[in-house]
Every structure is written in C-alpha cells, then in structure tokens.
Structure 1
Amino acid sequence: MTGPAASDTPADTAGRVWSGMRALVLEQHDRRREVSEATGLSFIRAKALRRIAAGPLSMRDLAARLSTDKPYTTLVVDDLTRRGLIERTVHPTDRRQRVLTITPEGLRIAEIARAILDEPPQTLRDLDPADLDLLDRVITTLLDTA
C-alpha cells in the first residue's frame, strides 16, 4: 500500500483507506481458518451459529443476515441441526415458518468463535494510545452513519 500523494483527492484517500482496512481484516489478520479449526465447522456455519446465538431467527432472517440464498441456508441449518447445535421449531403464529434456536452445545461453540474473532491483533494493541483513540472515534463514526 502506498502513502498519500500531494495530488490525492478525497476519493483517492478513501479508496486507499478502504483497501487498507480490507487487507488488515481479510488478509493480514484473517481469523476464518482459526475459527473453522477450533470449532470443527466451516466459517459460514460458525457465522450462522453466532447469528442464532444472538437470539432466535426465522430461516428467512438467517438467510438475510448471512447474505445467502434459501437453499444454501437450508443446507447450513440442516447440518447444524444434525450436529445438535441448533433446533428448528414451528413458528408459534405462522406454521409455514421455522424458528431457529441455539442449543447449549451450539452456544458453547458460538462462544469459541466469538472469542477468536473478538481478539484484537497485537499490532492494534501496540498502537500509540492517542492513535488508538482516534481510530476508535473514526470507526464509531463510520458505524453510526451506516
């Protein structure tokens, strides 16, 4: 990644920052493999489990949160159900829908994934406190405007 140039436009700078953020999260500090190895699940299954751990979801809501289509979401849910990590029950007011809830074992595995994903890399912990505070404010602002 190259540094700023005198002729950079705000769009150039934003592009460079976005590229750097993607590289940091998805390349230099990608934790997906670590999550898969620790949980014995593909990353998408661990991600689904974490979403369901946050509270019961319909199949439709899970598919939306995973950005997957219904058939693929069904495969993921079938596997998680077969492993005893989630339960699928009929929605109390709409018999056409299924509600997904986490089991105690599913919650244990979701917690393993969360702990791995929430652990900041050493390079972030090593930042100067003032830089870390600035980064915190910028990220908070970006998340609040999304």
Structure 2
Amino acid sequence: MSHDPQVAARVWHGMRALVLDRHDRRKEVCAALDMSFIRAKALRRLASTPLTMRQLAAELATDAPYTTIVVDDLVRRGMVVRDVHPDDRRQKIVTVTADGARAAELAEAILGEPPPPLLELGDADLMALDRIITGLLG
C-alpha cells in the first residue's frame, strides 16, 4: 500500500494534538491527586501488580535515583509500601496500599474520560474511528 506521507503526517499531528494538546488530562490528574504525573503513573502501574524498584524504573523510563525519590514520596503519602523482595533479599518490592489503589482508580477514571468532540461524533464516524484505531493498535 502506498500512501501520501504528508497525509499520514497530518493525521498523526492531529491525533497528537487531540490527545496531548487539546484534551490532555494529565494536569487534571495532578490536581485531583495533588502530585506530579510521574507519581500518578507509578501508582497506576503498581495498582495492577507489585514491582521491584528496577521494574518500576523501567516502566516509568526513569533512572534508579529518581525512581527512589518518587517511591519515597509515595511511601510518605501512604500510597505504597516498600519491602524486601520475598525471593531476593537484595531487591525491594513496591506494593500499592488501599489509598494508593483508590488514587490510581481516580487517575484512570480521569484519563479514560473521552473528550467532548469524541462524544459528539455520530455513530457511523465513531464506529469507523473505533475500527481504525483498533486496527492501528493491532
């Protein structure tokens, strides 16, 4: 299939603008949780499963010292606990608390809320967009 690269670039630019510029929910998440988005992102990752500090750093694409700062703050807030890994005493494992899980749920709810222009699409357009996005995600 041969496509016009300018059209593909315009579509990509539009998708990015829609999600990241016009309807970026990250600021709303930060305000609702009173924390930086990287901390909210850490909570969201930890809500699904406990992770070692090394795994969390990889998930967040942060280095070990910064990951420690993030986790230390979340521990102070009562959102996570850090314990010695049961299978490897040299590693620390981070687990979300009930308060952390509630904060992660709130963040997910905010991030998952479709923006008004998407809700205003007609059924046929929404179904076409759903088919296209699902196909792009493979």
What range describes the TM-score normalised by the shorter chain of this pair?
over 0.9
Structure 1, unpaired ranges of 5+ = 1-8
Alignment of 1:1-146 (within 5 A): 9-144=3-138
Tell me the CA shift for residue 129 of structure 1: 0.9
Partner-residue secondary structure (3-state), 2:35: coil
Identity value in percent: 62
Structure 1 CA distance, aligned partners of 2:49 and 2:32? 23
Alignment TM-score, normalising by the size of structure 2: 0.93
Shift of 1:120: 0.4
CA offset at residue 10 of structure 1?
2.6
Distance apart, 1:58 and its partner CA: 1.2
Counterpart residue number, 1:4: none
* CA distance, structure 1, for counterparts of residue 26 and residue 108 of structure 2: 11
1:57-99 Cα deviation digits (max 9, x unpaired): 1111111111111111111011001111001111111111111
Q: TM-score, normalised by structure 1?
A: 0.89
Structure-2 separation of matches of 1:60 and 1:14: 37
Q: Distance in 1 between matches of 2:89 and 2:125?
A: 53
Question: Gaps (5+ residues) in structure 2?
Answer: none
User: For this pair of structures, how many residues does the alignment match?
Assistant: 136
Moved over 4 A (4+): none
